[in-house]
Amino acid sequence: MKSLYIGGLVFDGRAEPKEGLGVVVEDGKIARIAPAGEFSGFSGTRIDTSGCTLMPGLIDCHVHLVLPGEPSVMASIRSHSVQDTVMRGLELAQSTLRGGFTAVRDLGGRDYIEISIRETINAGFQLGPTIHCAGKVICMTGGHGWFLGREADGPLDVVKAVRENIKAGADHIKFIATGGVATPNVDPMLAQLTLEEISAGIAEAQRFGRKSTAHAQGAPGILNAVRGGIHSIEHGFQITDEVMAEMIKRNVYLVATLAALDRTLSKPGALPYYILDKGQRFYEMHRQSTLKFYKAGGKLALGTDAGTPFNYHGENAQELKLLVDLGISPIDAIRAGTGNAADLIGFTDRGYVKEGYWADLLLVKGNPAKDIAAAADRANHRQVLKSGIDVHATLGPPLKPQAPRFPQLAPPTF
């Protein structure tokens, strides 16, 4: 079946949106992009996109499919069985897709559950986003995220942890370079894995063609990761002049995840004390670091940290608005969520509107390069296509957070 999208703007993931183009989707792929005049005798389905923009499906470079957005990440891990987390994780992946995100990078799973979710989607048994998985985060003993990660001490043990993740099917590797907000008894400003440990791990990942990323908040830990050869920095609360210069020189992306603290702090009364305290202390520093890095010409890729407190899967597009509210131009925000994200992850077959690429597409009302609400507000999403499949027609429209898709089959009886 052939479909032609014609009449509106096309944003390819990089350049300014263009008028006057037709885009043909056939067999799940983008078959042809050409001036509208070429399609006067087109015989398939014609979709009038007047007043809309056809753009790549959005990509989130930082999610946790095994976390549903509960107030305490550690309690959440402890209170849900592995079995429940599998079933729920699939639903959370599908919520993400409904919300306009056709690909995600999972940056910290649990017992490799997210890798099974990836497999069932890749095999075509379920419709979901393309998922790139880190497997278990690699942290020092007692490091940030230890309750779901792989604790490793010393370069040799870190190398072994990298090999274990690759054995389980990881697409990339995540190192914990500093403390974090959601773990008690760790300080976001202090380095955790050492330069030697991170360097050894990154080199091992690279030997097997895997990119690496680092959870890194304070400057000393960011520098360890960057000097060790990291491809992206997650969060980056403390971007000093030295950090900024090193990151830009080495082409390291920043995945800021503004939604994490924004959403976490939206319900302060519900949080464990250590999350509230650290969130409040670092929120403004984080925002200013992100803006400073952007203004200096640093590369941003979109990430939300979906799954952290009140930061729900399916609402990932809110990160676009947070970026623009901070002072990032709308077109750079949508570049962060499309082309830049695809480049960072290493996709060569999706993430752009380009002939031969998979038809992972988002059709939005308005022009998101002018008004970010066109892409950031799900009410403006007209169609989400995953490999040419109409997502809302197949899985239903976006849901409210935590809402079931269907009525309960039977009320609980005891």
Backbone angles phi, psi at 30, to 5 degrees: -85, 105
| Contact residues for 388 (Cβ-Cβ < 8 A; gap 6+) | 3, 25, 26, 27, 28, 29, 358, 359
CB of 108 to Zn ion, least distance (A): 6
Binding site residues, Zn ion, CB under 5 A = 305
Backbone angles phi, psi at 413, to 5 degrees: -105, -20
Q: Which residue is nearest to Zn ion (CB)?
A: 305
Give me the helix-helix angle, 155-168 and 195-207, nearest 10°: 30
CB of 215 to Zn ion, least distance (A): 6
Residue closer to Zn ion, measured from CB, 183 or 194? 183
The identity of residue 99, as a single letter, is G
Rounded to an integer, what distance in angstroms lies between the CA atom of residue 108 and that of residue 285? 24
Rounded to an integer, what distance in angstroms lies between the CA atom of residue 255 and that of residue 233? 6
CB of 12 to Zn ion, least distance (A): 29
Residue closer to Zn ion, measured from CB, 60 or 360? 60
Residue with token string 């087109």: 42
Residue closer to Zn ion, measured from CB, 305 or 377? 305
CB of 62 to Zn ion, least distance (A): 6
CB of 214 to Zn ion, least distance (A): 11
Cα separation values, 322 from 228, 257, 292, 328, 333, Å: 30, 9, 15, 9, 9
Residue closer to Zn ion, measured from CB, 12 or 305? 305
* Cross-sheet strand order for the sheet of 2-6: 29-35, 21-26, 2-6, 45-48
CB of 263 to Zn ion, least distance (A): 12
Residue closer to Zn ion, measured from CB, 171 or 305? 305
Residue closer to Zn ion, measured from CB, 17 or 143? 143
CB of 64 to Zn ion, least distance (A): 6
CB of 238 to Zn ion, least distance (A): 17
Residue with token string 């009320």: 411
Residue closer to Zn ion, measured from CB, 177 or 363? 177
Residue closer to Zn ion, measured from CB, 17 or 145? 145
CB of 319 to Zn ion, least distance (A): 13
Q: Which residues is 334 bridged to in the sheet?
A: none
Residue closer to Zn ion, measured from CB, 204 or 305? 305
